[in-house]
Structure 1
Amino acid sequence: MSKYGWLITAAVIAFSNAATAQSTAFDDRWYITPMIGGLFSDSENLDTGAYGSLAIGKYVTPHIGVELEGGYGSLAVSDLPTDNGYDRFALGFNVMGFLTDDKSTIRPYLLVNGHGQSVSFLGENLSGLGLGAGGGLMAKLGRKWDARFDLRYNLDSLGGEGIVPSDTFYLWNAGIGVSYKFGNDPYDQDGDGVPDNQDNCPDTPPGVAVYSDGCPTDLDQDGVPDYLDKCPNTPKGTLVGPDGCELDSDHDGVPDSRDQCPNTPAGIPVNAVGCPLDSDGDGVPDYLDKCAGTPAGTQVNAEGCSMADRDGDGIPDELDKCPGTPPGIPVGPDGCPLDSDGDGIPDYLDECPKSPPGAKVLPNGCALTGDCRTPRPGEQVDENGCALEQSFVLRGVKFEFDSDRLTPAAREILNQVAETLKAYPNINVDLEGHTDNVGSDSYNLGLSERRAIAVKVYLSGRGIKENRMNPVGYGESRPIATNETEIGREENRRVELRVVEN
């Protein structure tokens, strides 16, 4: 048979497999194959050289694959100087006919090839078209990797007008390499080692141990697979939650099987049987009990406090509209703290308990003008016993630790301050920042100034003109209480609002 004859025969055999290919699902992934090997001339001298190629391919049926391949080889030609070697670059299209289907571990194949080549030989650059045929085999190394061996015979038709005449050159090339397939194995989509046609759980996450049917293992047989089971040794027959642990509907740490109070609110401490703790035994659980430690036998209300007078202000609870009044605070007949001037600030918090009727006051109960502030120890007073300085401590205006960031509670107080300033549009004020003596003088001075500025910025955001407010920082230089106690230091960490004469 001629050289062309067996090439044609190989092509017919390769393509004949396509006619018998089934139209069912198969491994149709793209793959890439680098190969290295040798190049051999079909001549008496059997010239040899190195060869390498890179192919990108795809299976189009269980028995047919196609490839785009580029290769380069350099052949050392006998009786010629080294620099007159036969250097060949080829780019071609392969059709491969596999003798076994895509499920086989070893897959022999026949191959036909059409290619174009560019050859450098004897100082000339030649080009032309060619055919090739051969065979090889693929051997599976894993779900994505195959080993590959390839041998083929090539007929290269080259045209030249110089030293090298137009002719057909006959070459063998052989190579070995690996193929990498992109994407998931179509016969095992979840990659658990169980083929899809036997896999009852085809979506198992990667790396999870499975049974022979492809489903995740569940060694304690509680219905929760081991990879999700936080309690992998639960006794058989136990009711469990999604985490595989014994069911605890109210999440109080006591399983439902022992929980006598299965609807306990989240986060509530419970006893051994799952019921909320009731330390004083008054029938009101601790989380609802506002009077913990009630003596045994005391009749209590729903809040766990004595029915008589919970705040001890002399007003029975059933008549007390302010049942949480602090101890010792004078109250009216309704049980609420007295407010002698009717400004909305209870007397025990009011630094100006005789504000003019209808006056808009600060949170400390003082109006910005025409009011009488109770003097602090050591302050100068006028003939009426009122503090001379129109300076008001904005109690409750606090900042986050070591910061000029206002707390949410401070913002609420400053909202009231803003409303008072709006009621006195012609009055300007200094916003004074003060600290205790913890830290260096310079640091405290800077911190107090930043805090005063923060108050100004916040008040301007509430509609107060900036030119009405002058922020000043005094650091630790003007204490109003001792710095030797925490209570005193707390009083010294303050913001004051001082009325400025226009």
Structure 2
Amino acid sequence: MLKSWKWVAGLLLLGATGVVTAAGEDEDTRWYISPSIGAVFSDGDFGPAGVLGIGRSINNNFGFELEAGYSELDVGDLPSSTGKYERITVGMNLIGTMGNPSWGVRPFLLANLNAHTIDFLDETLDGGGVALGGGLFIPMTKRWDLRVESRYNLDFISKEGIVPEDTFYVWTATVGARAKFGADPGDDDGDGVPNGKDKCPDTPKGVQVYSDGCPIDLDQDGVPDYLDKCPNTPPGSPVDASGCPFDSDGDGVPDHLDQCPGTPAGVRVDGRGCPIDSDGDGIPDYLDRCPDTKPGSAVNAQGCDISDKDGDGIPDHLDKCPNSDPKIKVGPDGCPLDSDGDGIPDYLDECPNTPPGLKVLPNGCALVGDCRKPRAGEAVDANGCALDQRFILRGVKFEFDSDKLTKPAELILNDVADTLAAYPDVVVEVQGHTDSLGTDAYNLGLSERRAISVKRYLDGRGVSGNRLRPVGYGETAPIADNSTAEGQEENRRVEFRVIGN
């Protein structure tokens, strides 16, 4: 009877296979069933053997098994009916596997501790035993490995008298299978991290990963290095999908460094992300209508200089006459206005509407065809022009109490000579006038000598003396108040009066 149930048990052990499904297990720590069959050897005797193990891998290189085994050894020097050594064991194996799953075929070493019951010579012998062995796991499919194993078994016999010694050794060699059960996560993305541990199971091939299977992200910005175009982003900087710091205004300066984050598109900026201001006036170039303003100048919203030192309403950077009298009306260039373009500013021009092209005297009047503004009390024509054609030669002065022309006066008379040349048929009376200082007779003579001096100079500049009639009027025809120094200065003058043409 003992033999019958032992054989049944042995057949069950040899034929047992199966797959149990358990979701969530990892390839390195999955359970497995391992049935094997083979042969047992001892001192030239041999017989069949079978083992069934249920085990679990703790990691890629270490695991344990609970196993049950059956073997039957024919002892050669005994009758076959009584000389069978039948052995059933229950024990635990510790298994050390070399290498890693990428090796494919993997060698292993085994250490076994067991309890056994032996049926020999119609006696039952109980005891314990140990075994050492090794073998190979050869992958066949994702779930099935071929198992080839050999081990040395040493049994300790507890009942004496039936066998000559209290120890008995056997060798076993088996071939079997290892059937893994539970979900097989595999390594679908091939990154070396099993699916069950892989938090990033779709990592592209060849990408370096951490132990959790996720791509390496050295700057910890949330964008893995293989996608990160800016792999050295400072910690804490918000980044876009490319791993580069956000640049909301697209000026090339990331937001965390941009001191002017709202710069319009296309505007050139400096290292701070602010629009360039070449002249440093506080108005960026893209808004600056006057990009070359001098340093320190006050500017308006358009970046143009509004400094106006002479107060004429024309900013200094446009003012060609920056020291003009603020009481004098000026043109767009900041210089005294010359409405008729004759070269004499309006505030000095006695004929402010001279027709274009006419040559004028220093007072701004042409000798013929012009309209002089009348002085107080002068008669005028229907157009409001002075009837008397008298023209002051402004700036023509003499040395003190002398008829000698000053150097500036000579320069003015050079232009007067050119003007007279433009009117070859005009005959003028050259009038000399003085202030009221001195006697009437002295002033009369001085004024005449001065008129003659002017005629002589003009004659030397090519003006025919026949066209010049010098006359001295002394102090008899003042045009200003002689009681003031300013009035006296105005009364000391030379005038032309047209007397023929």
Shorter-normalised TM-score: what interval?
0.3 to 0.5
TM (norm. structure 1) is 0.39
TM (norm. structure 2) is 0.39
